Structure 1
């Protein structure tokens, strides 16, 4: 690992950080001014840069700008004794990883640097993976069905029907089917039949001759002609007017059509892919969709799962959309904590992937820091109750076997999730934060005096522990003790963290891994529970 660079004109600050980081087995290199840092960057780059904001020979903000121009992914921590608004805003606008006001608590500063190191190493891995990113990658089990479905259809011109909720990415799937088909070099033409007025839709699909109707000043080619030799994607086909369904059926049957106002039959070699969020079988029963057209379109049906059915893909999609939004806006991409990702995974997202993309765009603009925490999520999401318990969220795919996705599909349908950017792992999960409060004083009970256990307890011991917990809870509830839930939860969390730290001899990152929580979470919990006093 590369060294940590400390830049500060104050020798005492450099000395303290050097000694503290050395104790944590970090290599350190110190500088007293920005000029020496820029010269050293010509030869190597640090793992993390920690810089003062006001120094002789240049400011930390200017140094931040020049370092980011050379190494965009390098985490930079800005520290200053002048804790003013302008400094903080300038630091974050320049892409700083974090803002550290002086005087600071040395252990907390070291923990912040450790977070930055972890982030830089993770970003380096992501950059390597994204450099060789395949077109599609998904961690949800249904994604394997996608690959198989597109593979089976790659040499076929068969008509495909894609079903799924609005915002779930049906057009992305249609484009993938087109790209990997024999027509991949031909045009891909998309039209949303629900977004065009009925009077104009016929002309949009089939074109019109000059003078066919008022305003038709010239001849116009329709979408079928434009898609000749390629693929025509008919989105929201379930909303197509009934009379136009008859014309569409005729085109699908013999490949011939007439422009509006025309008398010469035209032929177009087009593969049709249709999509809808509606239940077409029900529409047929209601008499608003032609049964023969339904069977003509429904040769192969691919079902695109809702985002809530593949929650394990949310972290990868979130990071991808944050990168995409940052690129569109010309700003530094935001990073997101495990706790914030876990909160996102708990929401149902009725707007599916499109809604998640909008949330990421909002975070890119509105999140106050470069690292997005759970409290920074949009208010409408924070106000929504989580649809699944956070502890029941899917386990990370990189940590073991992928959990099953809750789906119940007819045999003829293939679950098909939206394309997920490759190379982005799913993080570990953090429990939801609790409000800070002092540790409660408990009467003697199994929770307060249990010794640390280094191995799983036998089943009988586990039942005895739960019985002790039940008795303690019953006593507190019958006594009318206030905030019983918070008291027992904090006692339980405190004992777990204390035991893990005892086993790992105080190494917080290792303790967090053993507990299955994030490194940020264990640091926050230690502070909230007063375990570092």
Structure 2
């Protein structure tokens, strides 16, 4: 591991921190002023540079805030902890605006300072791993099995020019899939033209798609090429195809059949060599039954169908996407990228994201602007995320309160080191011998969590989450007599998710 760099003109501060970190097996390197640090950064290879930097603000050889600015120019991802004996608002604001990881006022409690340094080291190592995985940020990201299926389909279609219909909820990234299909197709050198058929008024959509001749209607001062002509030799992406007016569907069907069309007001056929990729969040089969969508057009578009999963079906991708969007938002705003704590990431992973990936991207932009510190904690998450978590807890408590509870005598006393429950045992059905009578299973959960926390356990989240998921999956499989797909549907998760969870929890 790379060393912790400490810069302070006070020899006693350096000595105390060095000894405390040495006891934690954390290597250190000390400096007395900012000039020494800047020279060392130039002379030291990046692979041997600092893991984190702990710096005083006011030193004879220069300002710690100036050092922070220069270090961030060279190593933007380096966590920097700023120390000062002058605990004023201006110093704190300046430190965070400069991209400091945390602000540590003197005199500080040594164990708390070491804990903060540990946290900075963990964040640094986690970010290094995340950056290695993301590399240069590929066009699409996803480790979830459902997304891997999409990637495989794109790969299989890479040498094809067949029409593709992409389905999925709004905000799930359908245009990204369309762009990937174009980029990896024989038409990659041609144009990619996108149009949202739901965003353009009906009276203008025909002209947008097929163009118009001069004088075709009031305001048509010149001849205009439509999207089909603009996409000649490439790909035309028709987003929200389910909202296309019925009469225009007929014209689209004719173009897909023979490649010929007429501009509005035109008399000569125009031919365009275009691959069409369509997308919709609607159920087109249902639209056909209702008479709102032509059946023959549906079959013409539905040659190959790709279903893009909602974000709640690929929750394991939330941490990776969050880190990427935080970096992108910071770059757009010209600020230092913020880090996000594991607790906040886990809570984001539990949120359903009705707006899918687009909503997650907006949340990351909000956090980049509104989160007060460089590390985003649970309390910093947007109100809609925190409110949703509170609403879910309230609903669960109301449901639990309506069910008969076991008699207190049937409840066991649990010690923090008790053996894990069997997969078929209740999630949290125990009470402390001295605790109050439970009014719901949430109270039992709180009691056991408190016992484990007071005992100094650091795996509380993982242990209780694992038992909770085990109980849910066992209950669903028992209800469906072992039928996984049906169990996943009843739980509201994807079949790939339940298969992965069964493997992770050793429930085979």
TM-score (norm 2): 0.81
Alignment match, 1:182: 186
**Contact residue 64 and residue 94 of structure 1 kept, 8 A:** yes
* Aligned residue number for residue 354 of structure 1: 358
1:16 aligns to 2:20 (yes or no): no
Q: 1:314 to 1:125 in 2, by over 3 A?
A: closer
- Alignment match, 1:476: 436
Q: Which has the higher contact order (CA 8 A, sep 6+)?
A: 1
Contact kept? 1:346, 1:387, Cα under 8 Å:
no
Contact map agreement 1:186 1:229 (CA 8 A) in 2 = yes
**Structure 2 counterpart SS, 1:50:** strand
Note the 1:303-452 alignment, pairs <5 A. Answer: 303-385=307-389, 447=413, 450=415, 452=417
Contact 1:205-1:222 within 8 A present in 2 as well: yes
Q: C-alpha displacement at 1:496, in angstroms? A: 3.0
Runs of 5+ in structure 1 lacking a partner?
390-444, 502-507, 518-533
Q: For residue 383 of structure 1, report the CA deviation from its aligned partner.
A: 1.4
CA distance in 2, matches of 1:338, 1:188: 39
Alignment partners' CA distance in 2, 1:309 and 1:316:
15
For the residues of structure 1 that align with 2:427 and 2:331, how far apart are their CA atoms?
53
* 1:221 paired to 2:181: no
* CA deviation after TM superposition for structure 1 residue 471, in Å: 8.8
Counterpart contact for 1:7–1:34, Cα < 8 Å: yes
Q: Are 2:79 and 1:123 equivalent residues in the alignment? A: no
Q: Does 1:492 align with 2:448?
A: yes
Task: State the TM-score, normalized to the length of structure 1.
Answer: 0.77
CA contact (8 A) 2:57 2:63 kept: yes
The number of residue pairs the alignment matches comes to 445
How far apart are the structure 2 equivalents of 1:270 and 1:52? 63
Q: Is the 8 A contact 2:338 2:376 kept in 1?
A: yes
Q: CA deviation at 1:136?
A: 4.0
Structure 2 unaligned spans of 5+:
394-410, 466-508
Deviations 1:252-308 (A, max 9, x none): 111110011111111111111111111111111221211111111111111111111
CA RMSD of aligned residues (A): 2.9
2:505 equivalent in structure 1: none
Structure-2 separation of matches of 1:310 and 1:171: 18
1:247 aligns with 2:251: yes
Does the 8 Å CA contact 2:194/2:236 hold for their aligned counterparts?
Answer: yes
1:260 aligns with 2:264: yes
Displacement, 1:331? 0.8
Is 1:50 aligned to residue 54 of structure 2? yes
For the Cα contact (< 8 Å) 1:48–1:76, is it kept in 2? yes
1:5 is aligned to: 5
CA distance in 2, matches of 1:285, 1:16: 76
Matched with 2:31 is 31
The equivalent residue for 1:282 is: 286
Q: How far has the Cα of 1:369 moved from its partner?
A: 0.4
Tell me, yes or no, if structure 1 residue 60 matches structure 2 residue 64.
yes
Change (3 A) 1:99 1:176: same
Q: Secondary structure at the match of 2:437?
A: helix
